Structure 1
């Protein structure tokens, strides 16, 4: 169910929110999950804040996808315990003033770029093991993608969160989700501008697993 930030409830999917910014402009905000979900460990605004690293912060001294002879190899996770895994990743798409205005006003000929990019991000998370050769297939229990317009930079900020319970993490699912959502925005807007820049694709946080939690400072 969609939540309109002016206090209305709109019975359609995906959610659309408009938040008034300075100078009388409006921010269109899309999310693939209702923001009021109290049980969600995914993309609440508090979870985006910078935080000091937590947990043991263990890292491997060797590449895990390379065997003893230097050949590519899939990691055997069969003996690892199942734990709750959550990862959040982000990306930024610099649209430029012309494309940004069309996205903001939902006037692109291809349709609503934010909705299409949001759905592409969800789909990409579920297909990560088919795109990244040595990724394990993960049974995701939750995927959330949010896109926010930044009028100061003429940009769209993307946050993707994935959750699963299993023996391997979901960082790649979150990163793939954010990256494909960004690429989809490019595709939606490329007829208007070829000067679009995708940047800042990065892991924001991850929890679960024997290497401990990570929160980008």
Structure 2
């Protein structure tokens, strides 16, 4: 599959690119607002993998070019940039592509992080409202720490819940997720359940903050 990581120069984009680059043979394209920034990031990711003996080619392009021909488009952008990002690349997204939303709206205070969804009810719903007609949206990777993804010495034994209204799209994203060593994918139902899935993220972060020896806490369904 060809995987486009829109906003792939950020933390979550870096982490997912490195994991996909190490553990899968999918074609990877890192997107950014400028092709130069994307190319620089892609080269840095290649170097990180090369240091581990992995010879991997990763492309870099502006976001609109990155999504052309992609089978899966991962919107690795901050939650309140998701709608504008979809608007900016929508015309280039193929009819057979799947949009993946890993973003979670959160606000922090002295007590911790709290789920703060947009008016659409979830970031995934916001993306779905902005998506080109007929292009399915799947929420996935919402509960994964960018720091842990980026640290390739960190071993996973985690699951990521998936929500979406198109079963074939969810199956495609599940195959992508399960290609990452130690990561499983579980079906959490339709897109209407995205708020419940996204709200796991501040919970996990707060548990890590307040519980000794659980700084690497994650979600595993057994």
Same fold by TM-score greater than 0.5: no
The higher radius of gyration belongs to: 1
TM-score by length of 2: 0.22
Higher strand share: 1
Higher helix share: 2
Higher relative contact order structure (alpha carbons within 8 Å, sequence separation ≥ 6): 1
